[in-house]
Amino acid sequence: MAYLKENILIALEGIVANKMRALLTMLGIVIGIGSVITITTVGDALAAYVADSMSKLGVTNILVSLQNKDAEALSFLGGSLSASDRISDDMVQQYTERYQDSIDSISLSNVGSAGQARNGNAFANTTIMGANDELAKTENIKLLEGRFIKDADIKSKRYVAVVSDKFVKNLYPSGQDCLGQEIKIDTTDGVQTFTVVGVYQYEASLLSTNVASSDKDLRTYTYIPLTTLYLITSSDQGYLSITVKTKSNVDIARFTNQTRDFFNAFYTNNPNFNISATSLDSMLTIVSDVMGTLSTAVGVIAGISLVVGGIGIMNIMLVSVTERFKEIGMRKAIGARNSSIQIQFIVEAVVVSGLGGIVGIVLGIALGYAGSSLLGRPRLPSVNIIVISVLFSMLIGVFFGFYPANKAANLDPADALRFE
């Protein structure tokens, strides 16, 4: 133990005496270990963010959407889309009747015009969304006050609205209660007046394209009855997509295929469009696979960095052996065994790589925490990855320090003493 302690102290003295050389030698190890820990930590945070976002959207949901049969077409919206091409209420009704034992709810919606509500100098940006009474349940919308759209609202074509908490905060910065108030929204279809019957909690989702510099500029949905939207816009009825929430005991993969086949039966003779059906559960699996592949790729890159760092250690240890030929010769001349010389240089290599690993771990923890915080999921790396990083860095020292140590141990004392 005392011999090992002595070798460690000698190695530390050498590092202190050649600070810059030691730092450059450790750089590859620092970058490699730091990269592995950073990517692992951020990857875990990203996986948690994706899983959380998907769960909010509903992993038992199936997105049924219209798509262009022409695979090269960028978007069916640019084509000649007619009312007969859309998913109709009759299709949805037949689908509901046939699979009523598997369906929990169906979200029907159409996007209206973007607009702005004003209250004196205050304003709130919004987009009008026509919705049915099951949309809140299907898409896990959390109501903070009041209620959502009811079937009676749809049948009577009432001018009622459900707005977000961000909308209320922007329109009534003084904290006035919005429930029951009339709001006027200025859109391209004219100024529309609605009575607020509910307030929901706005949550940015993974699939959201809503980007704003601040909450004040944020544009959120104002939900109104579908029939009211048709009355305002005089648009064609029918849907570009619907969302189906299945019951808990349903085989999602199988039912997704059944849903796709059912709706595509209506599009057999349609020359332009057909139906795609995708479950969010399968999307989550795909995203997880992609993230796993990216993590592996980054791990390989970090591994290359570690190998480069190991080569740097081997190179500097060879230089150290050359610089200390006379010292080695004198030790061997007075009886030092080959194993003692070998252990001395291996310990030096392990100390250099170990210190590089420790610096890399500290750097990885700091960067990983910062990166995961940006995703709103601040976290520290697992103890396992830290232990593995320490052991791996020391293994690098042993592996790449063995050749220089072996060379030093096998020096002929007479040749070493004559070396200039």
Per-residue pLDDT band at 78 (split at 50, 70, 90): very low
Bridge partners (DSSP) of residue 287 are none
Percent of the chain with pLDDT over 70: 77
Structure tokens at 408: 């030093």
Written as one string, the DSSP assignment of 287-356 is HHHHHHHHHHHHHHHHHHHHHHHHHHHHHHHHHHHHHTHHHHHHHHHTT--HHHHHHHHHHHHHHHHHHH
pLDDT confidence of residue 125: 94
Task: Dump pLDDT digits (tens) for 207-264.
Answer: 455 555 567 889 999 999 999 999 998 777 889 999 999 988 888 889 999 999 999 9
For the cut 50, the answer to whether the pLDDT of residue 74 exceeds it is no
pLDDT confidence of residue 227: 94
Q: How far apart are the C-alpha atoms of 256 and 246, rounded to whole Å?
A: 10
Task: Dump pLDDT digits (tens) for 14-73.
Answer: 666 666 777 777 777 788 788 888 888 887 787 777 666 665 555 678 999 998 877 544
pLDDT confidence of residue 417: 54
Average pLDDT over residues 335-350: 72
For the cut 60, the answer to whether the pLDDT of residue 206 exceeds it is no
Q: At a CB cut-off of 8 Å and minimum separation 6, what does 75 contact?
A: 68
Task: Dump pLDDT digits (tens) for 357-392.
Answer: 888 889 989 998 898 888 777 888 878 878 877 777
Structure tokens at 295: 């993590």
Q: 403 or 223, which is more confident? A: 223
Task: Dump pLDDT digits (tens) for 188-199.
Answer: 888 999 999 999
Q: At a CB cut-off of 8 Å and minimum separation 6, what does 314 contact?
A: 349, 400, 401, 403, 404
Strand, coil or helix: what is 184?
A: strand
Quick check: 305 and 32 in contact, CB under 8 A?
Answer: yes
Task: Dump pLDDT digits (tens) for 174-185.
Answer: 888 889 999 999
Percent of the chain with pLDDT over 90: 33
For the cut 80, the answer to whether the pLDDT of residue 323 exceeds it is no
Per-residue pLDDT band at 292 (split at 50, 70, 90): confident
For the cut 80, the answer to whether the pLDDT of residue 333 exceeds it is no
Domain boundaries, the chain: 2-53+286-418, 61-278
Question: Picking from 318-322, 346-350, 414-418, which range would have the lowest pLDDT averaged per residue?
Answer: 414-418
Average pLDDT over residues 162-173: 93
Q: What is the mean pLDDT of the chain?
A: 80
pLDDT confidence of residue 384: 81
Average pLDDT over residues 291-298: 72
